Amino acid sequence: MANIELLAEITASGMYIFDYFTKVFFGCSPVACSNSTAPFLVCKRIGSRYIHKDNPEKVLSTKDWRAPMIVKRYEKRGSPGKSFLIDPMLADKEAYPGFEGTVNSHLRIPLIGLPVDMKTITDVDAIIATHLHPDHWDMAATEKLPKEKPVYVQDAQDAHYLTENGFSDVRIMEEENQADGVVWNKTACQHGSNDIIADSVMGPIVGNASGLFFHSEGEKSVYFVGDTIWTQEVENNLKTLQPDVVVVNAGYAQVIGFGSIIFGKEDVLRVHRAVPHAQIVAIHMEAVNHCILSRKELQEYAESHLFSSSLHVPSDGEVICF
């Protein structure tokens, strides 16, 4: 993933997305945003005003959004918000070798550091692992995350791994899932071409991955497409689900001899054409060695193909509100 946080206000809900991991808030006021290591802002929205989290008397304007503050969870008027940490890669910068057999494997990963402390990261109601590749769940996540937190996983194999590593409340996701009024579906991904899936060596390595579709009453819907290439099923999901916000892993990660295993810029355009009304947030960029699509290139592509107004590619420390 990319080291992003996205402060997206979605009616009464918000989400922020780190490039290593995603943290989603439902039933709460705004959120936070950054694309990698820069500090970021959390504030509370009242009408069109944003209130400093520690100083309610201070009204913030957009020029204040890059102020260095610590993310804290907020509550919707009268009701607690729910937060989910998705796909945590929590290691320090350059903690691991690059992925063997991929482009730029000489680069150590993650390429950037985390922008917040562990207390902030772990202040969630539950954790979701779409799959257990190291750029979505690394050894640091296994070591640092609270073992008693509910963890939702895609299948029994992933559940077994986490249980064996001390997590006491591991739950295998069903087709539809619910937690305290928040509803989400597990969606299918194809983490690479038919050739790599069929390969006797690489097929088991790329394995399975999942996407997520959050839809709760009173909230805009959010489709996390996940680690996948463009497939007919992804297109069908977009057209059937009609999400308000689509979060895409768009770094165009390359495996030598097999090509891309996640979205590239052309796929982001396909998302826009499938759901022209949706706002698209591009993440999983510039944080791991094999992701070759830069934020700048994607933004230029969107401008030349006339969909830049629907695309959000957060810069470090940037706040985005829907």
- The stretches of the chain forming alpha helices (DSSP H) are 118-122, 139-144, 156-164, 194-198, 202-206, 232-241, 265-274, 295-304
* Per-residue pLDDT at 216: 83
For 37-150, list the strands marked E by DSSP. 43-46, 49-52, 59-60, 82-86, 126-128
Helix axes 265-274, 295-304, angle to 10 degrees: 50
Tell me the per-residue pLDDT of 47-89, one tens digit each, with 9 for 90 and over.
333 334 444 444 433 332 222 222 233 333 334 568 888 999 9
Q: Which of 200-209, 211-220, 304-313 has the lowest mean pLDDT?
A: 211-220
How sure is the predictor about 181, in pLDDT bands with cuts at 50, 70 and 90? confident
Tell me the per-residue pLDDT of 236-247, one tens digit each, with 9 for 90 and over.
999 999 999 999
| Global model pTM greater than 0.95 | no
Q: Is the pLDDT of residue 11 over 60?
A: no
Mean pLDDT of the region 8-18: 33
Tell me the per-residue pLDDT of 97-148, one tens digit each, with 9 for 90 and over.
999 999 999 999 999 888 777 888 888 899 999 999 999 999 999 999 999 9
Amino acid at 101: G
Percentage of the chain lying above the pLDDT 70 cut: 72
Q: Is the pLDDT of residue 162 over 60?
A: yes
Tell me the per-residue pLDDT of 301-313, one tens digit each, with 9 for 90 and over.
999 999 999 999 9
CATH 3.60.15.10 holds for 8-312: yes
Query: Which one is predicted more confidently, 205 or 33?
Result: 205
Among 133, 258, 270, 233, residue whose Cα is nearest residue 246:
270
Query: Could you give the 3-state DSSP secondary structure of residue 97?
Result: coil
Query: Which one is predicted more confidently, 252 or 58?
Result: 252
* Per-residue pLDDT at 111: 93
Query: Could you give the 3-state DSSP secondary structure of residue 9?
Result: strand
